[in-house]
Structure formats: C-alpha cells, structure tokens
C-alpha cells in the first residue's frame, strides 16, 4: 500500500463525514421540568448536518403517533398525537447546524417518560432516547386530628397536586422521625396529579410539637406543616378515654348520616366554602357575582332580556353593529371582568339541551369559529343532548346525572382554577386547574337550542349546602326568573 492509499484510509477513519457516518446525541443530564413549565429535549447531530430536507421525528410510546414530525421541508401536524396538539415546536432556524431539539410547552404529569429523537438520513437513520422527568409541587399540607389510637392521638396529614407520589415524613419536636401508619394515594384522571393522606399516631412528649413533611424527589423540594397538640388532649385516665371515644363516635355517626342523606348517588363536594379552605384562602370572601350580559358582544341571533336572560332565535336581532360581537359562535359575554380574586355565579339551563358555559379570556377569538379549548383561551363545559362534556383535549363525558338545571361556576384567578358544580345535587362536575391567567376573564354563554332560555344569577355559594329540590319546582322557579320569556 503506497502513501496516497494510507492517507485516504486515515481520513476515512478520522473524519466520519467522509465515510457517510453520523451520530446524534441527547443531553448529558436528563431534563427535569415542573408541571406547567416548558421543557427543551436536546437532540444534536455529530458532525453537524443540515436537516432541512430530512425527516425529524419525535415520538414517545408509538412510532406511528409522533409527538412532532418534520418531513418534506415542513412540520406535519396532522400526524401528531392529539395529546401534544399545539404544545410542540422544533428550532427550524437552527436546522442548518444539525439542531433537532424539541420544545414541549405547558408540560403536565402525563408528559413524564422517555422520548425518542429519530432522524432519517435517507441512506441510514439514527435515534437517541431522552428521559424527561416532570415534577408537580403540591399544596402546603394541612393536618387533622382524627381521634385516639392504641397509644396516643391519631393525626392525618393531607395535600394534593403532587407528581410523582411524594415521600412523607413525620417528625416530633426533637426532629426525630416518626413512623407513618397508613398512606392513601389518589390520582386525578384529568391532571395525573396525586392527592396524599398519611396518618400517624403521636404520643405526648416535653413539647408536643410535630411536623408533617412532604418531599418531591424529582424537583428536590418539599412542603412542611407544623402543629402543636395541647397536653390536655392526651388521655391520662380511662374516664377521659371513654368520654372522648363516645363523643368521637357520636360525631362519626352524624357525619355518616349526613353523607348517606346527601351523597347517595354521586361523589359530592363538601361545599364551596370548604373547597376554598382547602385552597388556603379561608379568611378571604368569595365574590358572589351578579352577572349581566354584554349586548355588544352578543351573536346577531341571540335575543337578550332583563340583562341576564338570553336565547337563540332563527332571525337576527336589531341592534347596533359592534366589532366586539361573536360572528360564528352563538355566544355572549358577561359584562363583568375579573383580573383577581375568587368569584362565583350560577347559570340556569333548565329547559336547554345544547349549551356551553364557563369563562373566556379578553383576547380570545370572536370573529372566527374556534374550538372552545383552554389553548384557545376558553375554559368551558358543554351539554350536547343527554350528556355533558368537558371542553378540553380529552372531551370527557361528565358524571352529570340527572342533567344539571343550575350550574355553579367558580373562578379562582390567582390559583388558576375554574370549577363547575351541579347546584341541585351539590356535586362537582369538572375543574380546569394549573392555569396561569394573565388577562381579564369574562363569563361566557353559548346556546344551540332555538327558543330555549339561559339565565345567569347571583345565587349564593352557600346554596351548595341546601337540600336538593324537585326538578318540577326548579323549572317553575326558572320560568318566573325570565319574566315574559316564551317557552
């Protein structure tokens, strides 16, 4: 072998580009992202290779259902997995330097897992796997005294909004670990986040101070609750134990009777006030809103009456032309604008079988027809015939039997929550959580049932505590609320 052949052989071995070989690399450290934040999954070719005319495919579990697909010079969104619709993008301007990284927006618990970056170089292909860790920090735990155990007082520590399942520690006043007796984990099917209940039995010591600590091993963060138990609660004689046990059993019987009486068929909420206590705002008042409809936002075929009743008609109404009105969606906004605080109002839909209601952001599209989805700045539920649905990417059928005649809408601006309740049965229908509101929000109503009225009212949040009334009496009252409205 002469010198020229040796030189060519050396170049082919040292420089992969001359032999057509390439590799792709992911990040050196697995990425970690909190729920609701954006994540970047790094994927880089080596040597740097222009990707403009190649296929770049990101997938999670199924090659044929990509998280994102770039081919033939453009993004092919029609093939995208619906769970990632509108939440992904590539760094196309950096394709010339071989950057095939993926940006994943507004992550949720279901995004946790292994992703594959696949590049088809026509004559060959390469792929690399990236493990994405998603972490959700729950609320600060709250502690409840649950009664007496065999040796001391049984205490429960509860929190929600965690992912993955948190590690729970109990400590006494000397910061020594106590052993928890039982743990209950409940996973929310909509958000994928965990609600945690951990119990421990504590005994009296010199200070009677205790702590419940919940740790997120992914985010390396923790939340802690401190509490102190008065020494008089720790029984010293059998008489006190007997008296406390009798009182405790009596309370439990009353609670069971209450649950059996009011929550026989559905899983009920404890009432909006208790819900707010769980949010940590028990000292703040709920604004029970008297919603009025904004005529200048109403679709031309909507008839408005008494500032808070509306119905869909077959003919356009005579009113001044407004650039703020809905043109394609048969909808109207409330004139109330919310940019802070917690608010509650009720929408009465007793005779209507085709409606959507909730809240909408100030900059949401009104002139063109759009889907009523959170990514389009609509947070709503819908009734279509016999069933009710959540208007999100899952479009889940809600547990709403019988169909609600009055729907309570609760907005907590700072905590990013929009919740819906069946007022008659006092049951929770659906919640949108984890939002970061930055614009004004308005009440939203839509009707597709001609000549059927919908009304908004300022019913008190305490109505969730009242006895359910008969459907017939609810309909008679609804007719009286829209005076002069033909049915």
pLDDT at 266: 44
User: Residue ranges per domain, the chain?
Assistant: 3-135, 142-262, 272-481
Q: What is the pLDDT of residue 401?
A: 84
The first and second tokens of residue 345, run together, are 């109002």
pLDDT-flagged residues of the chain (< 70): 1-20, 149, 151, 179-182, 205-207, 230-242, 260-285, 458-487
Q: Cα dist. 19→48, 211, 225, 268, 385 in Å? A: 15, 64, 62, 68, 64
Give tens-digit pLDDT for 391-417: 998 889 998 888 899 999 999 999 999
pLDDT of residue 470: 44
Taking the domain 142-262, which CATH number applies? 2.60.40.10
Output the pLDDT for position 152.
76
| CATH T-level topology, domain 3-135 | Immunoglobulin-like (2.60.40)
What pLDDT, on the 0 to 100 scale, is given for residue 458?
62
Distant-in-sequence, close-in-space partners of 165: CB < 8 Å, separation ≥ 6:
185, 194, 196
pLDDT of residue 3: 46
**Residue 92 φ then ψ, to 5°:** -60, -35
**pTM of the full predicted structure?**
0.45
Distance CA 19, CA 26 (A): 23
Phi/psi of residue 215, nearest 5 degrees:
-120, 135
Contact status, residue 222 vs residue 214, Cβ threshold 8 Å: yes
C-alpha 191/C-alpha 163 separation (Å) is 10
Q: Report the run of H or E that residue 142 belongs to, with start and end.
A: strand 142-148
At residue 322, the pLDDT reads 79
Query: What confidence score (pLDDT) does residue 38 get?
Result: 97
Fold: same for 3-135 and 142-262: yes
Residue in the structure block whose two tokens are 């919310």:
338
CATH class of 272-481: mainly beta
**pLDDT value of residue 19:** 39
Q: What pLDDT sits at residue 144?
A: 85
Q: Residue 263 and residue 272: Cα distance in Å, rounded?
A: 15
DSSP 8-state class, residue 99 = B
Helices (H) and strands (E) in the chain, counts: 5, 32
Q: Which long-range contacts (CB under 8 A, 24 or more apart) does 96-99 make?
A: 96/50, 96/51, 96/52, 97/48, 98/44, 98/45, 98/46, 98/47, 98/48, 98/49, 98/50, 98/51, 99/43, 99/44, 99/51
Task: Give me the pLDDT at residue 230, please.
Answer: 66
């Amino acid at each position: 072998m002469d010198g020229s052949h040796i030189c060519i052989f050396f170049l082919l071995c040292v420089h992969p580009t001359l032999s057509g070989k390439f590799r792709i690399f992911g990040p050196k450290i697995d990425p970690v992202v909190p729920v609701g934040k954006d994540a970047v999954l790094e994927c880089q070719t080596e040597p740097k290779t222009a990707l403009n005319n190649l296929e770049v495919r990101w997938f999670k579990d199924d090659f044929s259902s990509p998280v994102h697909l770039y081919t033939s010079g453009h993004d092919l969104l029609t093939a995208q997995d619906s769970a990632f619709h509108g939440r992904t993008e590539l760094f196309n301007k950096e394709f010339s330097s071989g950057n095939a990284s993926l940006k994943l927006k507004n992550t949720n618990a279901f995004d946790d897992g292994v992703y594959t970056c696949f590049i088809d170089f026509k004559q060959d292909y390469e792929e690399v796997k990236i493990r994405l860790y998603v972490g959700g920090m729950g609320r600060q735990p709250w502690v409840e005294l649950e009664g007496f155990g065999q040796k001391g007082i049984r205490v429960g520590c509860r929190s929600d909004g965690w992912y993955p399942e948190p590690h729970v520690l109990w400590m006494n006043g000397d910061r020594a670990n106590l052993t928890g007796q039982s743990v209950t984990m409940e996973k929310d099917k909509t958000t994928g986040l965990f609600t945690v209940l951990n119990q421990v039995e504590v005994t009296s010591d010199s200070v009677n101070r205790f702590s419940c600590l919940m740790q997120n091993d992914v985010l390396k963060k923790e939340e802690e609750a401190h509490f102190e138990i008065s020494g008089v609660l720790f029984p010293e004689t059998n008489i006190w134990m007997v008296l406390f046990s009798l009182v405790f059993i009596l309370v439990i019987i009353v609670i069971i009777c209450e649950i059996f009486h009011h929550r026989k068929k559905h899983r009920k909420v404890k009432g909006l006030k208790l819900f707010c206590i769980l949010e940590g705002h028990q000292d703040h008042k709920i604004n029970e809103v008297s919603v009025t409809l904004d005529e200048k936002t109403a679709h031309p075929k909507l008839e408005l009456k008494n500032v808070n009743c509306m119905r869909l008609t077959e003919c356009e109404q005579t009113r001044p032309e407004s650039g703020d009105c809905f043109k394609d969606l048969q909808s109207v906004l409330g004139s109330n604008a919310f940019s802070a605080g917690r608010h509650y109002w009720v929408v009465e839909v007793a005779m209507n079988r085709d409606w959507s209601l909730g809240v909408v952001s100030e900059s949401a599209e009104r002139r063109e027809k759009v889907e009523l989805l959170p990514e389009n700045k609509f947070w709503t539920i819908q009734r279509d015939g016999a069933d009710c649905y959540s208007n999100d990417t899952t479009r889940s059928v809600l547990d709403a039997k019988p169909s609600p005649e009055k729907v309570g809408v609760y907005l907590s601006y700072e905590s990013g929550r929009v919740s819906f309740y069946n007022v008659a049965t006092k049951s929770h229908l659906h919640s949108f959580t984890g939002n970061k509101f930055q614009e004004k929000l308005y009440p939203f109503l839509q009707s597709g049932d001609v000549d059927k009225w919908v009304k908004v009212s300022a019913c008190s949040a305490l109505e969730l505590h009242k006895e359910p009334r008969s459907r017939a009496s609810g309909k008679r009252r609804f007719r009286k609320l829209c005076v002069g409205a033909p049915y």
